[in-house]
């Protein structure tokens, strides 16, 4: 019952509360960002996608923690969820600074990711961790692509994305060390296809 309450609390805080980071938002020494309207719009669309990714991360880790009977693994997922809250807060702050907003479809993204997390968790701990590894690797590659797409002078967004990429790769490595199993190739391809739909829609809505 406590796990269910915690899952509900995480959903409400993710979707309706202002996230609070435990770590300061990353910065770079190049100076303040000055963007024209077109650059702001481009940066906002990309950061909205990244914010959606963090909404989904909260849902995935919460669902996987709920699904596993392994107390140590539950603690692992819970800690990862807490660390991802920093990313959620940073991307939300950056969207506000750019004069933009999160995706209007965040409740839908959260629900879908939560369902996938439950499904992964029911497949056993090794495959659940394998799902984490593949998700974080795909997110890391996606963030790397954003570094080439963001306006060159958007130092703030670039600093956030760079730190997020480092953290996501670390989460993948930690899941691998915890005993992750390799996912079948068709599952990986399905995950990529679903991510493509999400990122395309979220950049605009």
98-152: per-residue pLDDT in tens?
999 999 889 988 898 888 888 888 888 888 888 888 888 888 888 988 998 999 8
Nearest of 104, 103, 128 to residue 187 by alpha carbon: 128
Q: What percentage of residues in the chain have a pLDDT greater than 70?
A: 92
Q: Which domain holds residue 49?
A: 2-9+35-202
Which of 17-47 are b and which e, b meaning 16 or more Cβ less than 10 Å from the residue's Cβ?
eebeeeeebbeeeeeebebeeebbebbbbbb
DSSP string for residues in 8-27: HHHHHHHHHS----SSPPP-
pLDDT digits (tens, 9 = 90+) for 16-60: 667 887 787 887 666 677 788 899 999 999 999 999 988 998 898
CATH number of the CATH domain containing 167: 1.20.1260.10
- Pairwise CA distance, residues 190 & 196, whole Å: 10
54-89: per-residue pLDDT in tens?
Answer: 899 889 889 988 888 888 888 888 888 888 889 999
Q: Determine the Cα–Cα distance for residues 98 and 171; give it in Å rounded to an integer.
A: 28
Is the residue at 188 inside a domain? yes
Enter the pTM of the model.
0.87
The domain tally of the chain equals 1
Is 14 within the bounds of a domain? no
**pLDDT at residue 69 in the model:** 86
Q: Is residue 16 part of a domain?
A: no
């Amino acid at each position: 019952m406590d796990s269910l309450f915690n899952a509900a609390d995480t959903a409400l805080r993710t979707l309706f509360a202002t996230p609070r980071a435990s770590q300061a938002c990353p910065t770079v020494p190049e100076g303040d960002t000055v963007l024209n309207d077109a650059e702001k719009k481009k940066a906002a669309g990309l950061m909205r996608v990244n914010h959606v990714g963090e909404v989904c991360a909260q849902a995935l880790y919460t669902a996987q923690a709920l699904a596993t009977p392994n107390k140590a693994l539950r603690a692992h997922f819970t800690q990862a969820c807490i660390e991802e809250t920093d990313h959620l807060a940073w991307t939300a702050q950056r969207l506000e600074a750019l004069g933009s907003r999160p995706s209007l479809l965040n409740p839908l993204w959260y629900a879908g990711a939560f369902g996938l997390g439950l499904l992964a968790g029911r497949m056993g701990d090794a495959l659940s961790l394998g799902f984490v590894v593949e998700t974080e690797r795909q997110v890391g590659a996606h963030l790397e692509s954003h570094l080439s797409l963001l306006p060159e002078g958007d130092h703030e967004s670039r600093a956030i994305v760079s730190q997020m990429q480092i953290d996501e790769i670390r989460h993948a490595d930690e899941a691998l060390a915890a005993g992750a199993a390799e996912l079948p190739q068709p599952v990986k391809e399905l995950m990529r296809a679903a991510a493509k739909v999400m990122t395309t829609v979220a950049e605009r809505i």
